[in-house]
Amino acid sequence: MGVDVDDLLATTGVPGHRLSLPTKPEVLSLLSTLEAYLPYSLPLYRRLQFYLAHPSDPTGPPHAHIFQAFAKGLGGQRSKPRPAGGGGRLLQDEPPDAIETMLQRPWLAAHVDLSRSGETQIWVFANWECPSGKDYPRPQPEDIGTRRCLLLSFFEFVYTHYVPLMPPTTPLSFMKVKKLHGNHHSYSPSAVLLGSCNLSIRSLIPELAIRRVDQAYMKYVFSSAGNEQILSEPIPNTLGTTLPPGYRFGPLRQPKDLQLAIDRTTIPRTVETLAQLPSRAVFFEDEPEPVAWGFLGVDASLTSLHTEPHHRGKNLAVLLARELLRMQGQYFSARGFEGRGDGSVENGSELGHADVGEVNLGSRRVMEKAGARPLWKVCWVEVELETLFGEGGIWRSARRGAIS
């Protein structure tokens, strides 16, 4: 394609390899950068907060990897940050004018955890996702070739460094997800699943490398009154927060309750995964079984929000969504940012989000009653990296000039 891309900065720890884990200040530096792009950077922003707040969680170190990548600067100037922990340059080490210059180039960041076979493995944000005409740092140049080259170079890094560490045979985690949800694809160690992927990212992935892609989802964003500069015209809260008589909030802890939640959704998760997520349930009188429930995903999205049929029509899902949003700060804010000092990254602490099927009109009405607005569209897309970078892969062919 004739587009050069800087070396990727991979601040990471890899099982069986002596690479450095990203330090808390390094992740905070990236979060501070992502803050300028809220709410469009919210999924990755929250995923990194969860990473900080749960360092011993199976979804965190040593399986998680964090990346930044920049396109080459004009005039042959390069930014070549090295792996964190080895004396490499970080955004926080750069002078303000250098940071501004870097952010004007196409740029992306990602959280990767390939150990979650069958579930979401990659969250990615690129600075061209923000709509034009808004007060966001805009990348230059804006040509599609530069963006596609940057994204594929990131994929190539994952393929080269982390795919070889994947088990060659089907892992137990994938088998569990397939058994529960009827996954239509066989296991491939070089296939990766991107979640909450902005359609501007999905459009850059070569069609031949896509194993599957879900229907489009509306990205609904919640905002408190203090964040009107981020989400204009917030929908006012007119329903209150009190449950109807006879109903109460409670924890969702029993394995049988988690299994019930799995049985009521098509989202591919295991009981072990759900047990790690913040959750809330609604119970009716003295009944032991929950009648409604919901979770906060590892990116803090409202997920698996469900009300049993005979308890619908009482706004339980709306009130449950607000309760989960209230709980968000316990898991994605304070512990993630303690010790920062100026607290500037906390500006996004009252933002919440949810992914709702475009044709799911009932759930969309619930989100709007809860005070959310749809701002953009996302999808889940599985990419076969072997098709891109294996022997005879289309990205290799592109580099040889076979694809213009």
Structure tokens at 304: 């698996």
The answer as to whether 308 is a domain residue is yes
Q: 65 with 144: CB under 8 angstroms?
A: no
The sign of the dihedral angle between the CA atoms of 225, 227, 233, 236 is negative
Tell me: do 368 and 243 sit in the same domain.
yes
Is the per-residue pLDDT at 211 higher than 50? yes
The answer as to whether 3 is a domain residue is no
Tell me: do 21 and 170 sit in the same domain.
yes
Structure tokens at 28: 């905070």
Is the per-residue pLDDT at 237 higher than 60? no
Structure tokens at 144: 């599609």
Predicted local distance difference test score (pLDDT) of residue 267 = 76
Q: 363 with 306: CB under 8 angstroms?
A: no
The answer as to whether 359 is a domain residue is yes
Tell me: do 109 and 229 sit in the same domain.
no
Predicted local distance difference test score (pLDDT) of residue 107 = 85
Tell me: do 156 and 239 sit in the same domain.
no
Predicted local distance difference test score (pLDDT) of residue 22 = 65
Q: 354 with 302: CB under 8 angstroms?
A: yes
Predicted local distance difference test score (pLDDT) of residue 332 = 80
- What are the tens digits of pLDDT across the range 331-390? 786 444 433 433 333 455 678 999 999 999 999 999 998 889 999 999 999 999 999 999
Find the mean pLDDT for residues 94-111: 69
Predicted local distance difference test score (pLDDT) of residue 305 = 92
* More confident: 209 or 224: 209
Predicted local distance difference test score (pLDDT) of residue 101 = 62
The model's confidence at residue 401, banded by pLDDT at 50, 70 and 90, is low
The answer as to whether 2 is a domain residue is no
Tell me: do 236 and 193 sit in the same domain.
no
Predicted local distance difference test score (pLDDT) of residue 336 = 43
The DSSP bridge pattern shows strands 301-307 and 352-357 to be parallel
Tell me: do 167 and 261 sit in the same domain.
no
Average pLDDT along the chain: 76
Angle at 109 between CA 155 and CA 208, to 5 degrees: 30
Is the per-residue pLDDT at 20 higher than 70? no
Number of domains in the chain: 2
The answer as to whether 189 is a domain residue is yes
Residue with token string 């210059």: 101
The sign of the dihedral angle between the CA atoms of 77, 33, 150, 187 is positive
The DSSP bridge pattern shows strands 210-213 and 191-198 to be unpaired
Find the mean pLDDT for residues 124-131: 90
Tell me: do 239 and 207 sit in the same domain.
no
Tell me: do 65 and 202 sit in the same domain.
yes
CA dihedral 260, 266, 270, 274 (to 10 degrees): -70
CATH code, domain with 277: 3.40.630.30
- CB atoms closer than 10 angstroms to residue 389: 20
Tell me: do 235 and 186 sit in the same domain.
no
The model's confidence at residue 41, banded by pLDDT at 50, 70 and 90, is very high
Is the per-residue pLDDT at 97 higher than 50? yes
The answer as to whether 299 is a domain residue is yes
Predicted local distance difference test score (pLDDT) of residue 396 = 73
- What are the tens digits of pLDDT across the range 281-333? 999 999 999 999 999 999 999 999 999 999 999 999 999 998 998 888 777 86
Three-state secondary structure call for residue 387 = helix
Structural domain of residue 91, as residue ranges? 9-218+379-399
Predicted local distance difference test score (pLDDT) of residue 287 = 92
The answer as to whether 368 is a domain residue is yes
The answer as to whether 4 is a domain residue is no
Predicted local distance difference test score (pLDDT) of residue 29 = 83
Tell me: do 214 and 147 sit in the same domain.
yes
Predicted local distance difference test score (pLDDT) of residue 327 = 85
Tell me: do 36 and 167 sit in the same domain.
yes
Tell me: do 368 and 384 sit in the same domain.
no
Q: 353 with 222: CB under 8 angstroms?
A: yes
